[in-house]
A and B are shown apart, each in its own frame.
Chain A
Amino acid sequence: MIAYAIYFAAGCFGLAFLMNLWKIATAEGVGDRVLALDTMVINAIALMILYGLANGTEIFFEAAMIVAMLGFVSTVAYARFMLRGNIIE
């Protein structure tokens, strides 16, 4: 039962990932692209945790944590660049 639920959730997040890629390719503004990139990072975290769940290992939590932090920092840097034109003043 759990195996099928994991497949279902992985399918949902994979589809969501493709939708984000589509949005990045077709968005008309920079803000939308940054938002889609941020969502893509969150979906990647979910996929990573699902992979760890399916294989029964805990090694992917650290990777997910690092990806979460990098995603946050990169989104803030992008938004900062849109707002100011440079990142570190």
Chain B
Amino acid sequence: MEQVLDLLITFFLVIGGVFGLVGSFGLIKLNDPMSRLHAPTKATTLGVGGVLIASMLHAYAYEGHLSWHELLITLFLFLTAPITANFIAKAHIHRHETPGTLPLAGGDRKWATHDIPPEDQEAASPADRG
């Protein structure tokens, strides 16, 4: 039993380390800002998840009780990683894209970052209207 738990802890630690490394390597290697967004938000989160699972198993094997702190951190990271990715993507659309360079949003309106609601049309500058 001890041996199996040791193997599992080692497995999760190695997997976590490899995924963390791949995530940060992708941040350097990929050549488009929006593809660069994928590597850290997905691979690195999985890497930290692996380390946290290994830490849980370690507490169970060597201190005799299953600790739930790690699950809390995992849950928090899994919740916040998509939110930060969405925010950074919105900032990219706001700074570097125009309605012409994006694919159609469907319907008869533009993407939400560029879209100005009808009631705010007068307040917007002429360049933003269109």
Residue numbers of A with Cβ under 8 A of B are 1-2, 4-6, 8-13, 15-17, 19-20, 22-23, 29-32, 34-36, 38-39, 42-43, 45-46, 49-50, 52-53, 56, 58, 61-62, 64-65, 68-69, 72, 75-76, 79-80, 82-83
Contacts and interface: CB of A to CB of B under 8 A. Distances in A.
A2 B67 CA distance: 18
Q: Per DSSP, are chain B's interface residues mostly helix, strand or loop, or mixed?
A: helix
Contacts of B94: 82-83
Contact of B88 (A11, A22, A23, A31): A31
Contact of B27 (A6, A11, A19, A80): A19
Q: Per DSSP, are chain A's interface residues mostly helix, strand or loop, or mixed?
A: helix
A61 B73 contact: yes
Given A9-B17, A38-B40, A42-B40, A19 B95 contact: no
Interface of B: 6-7, 9-10, 13-14, 16-18, 20-21, 23-25, 27-28, 33, 36-37, 40, 44-45, 47-48, 51-52, 54-55, 58-59, 62, 67, 69-70, 72-73, 76-77, 80-81, 83-84, 87-88, 90-92, 94-96
Contacts of A2: 6, 9-10, 13, 58
Given A31-B92, A46-B16, A79-B90, A19 B25 contact: yes
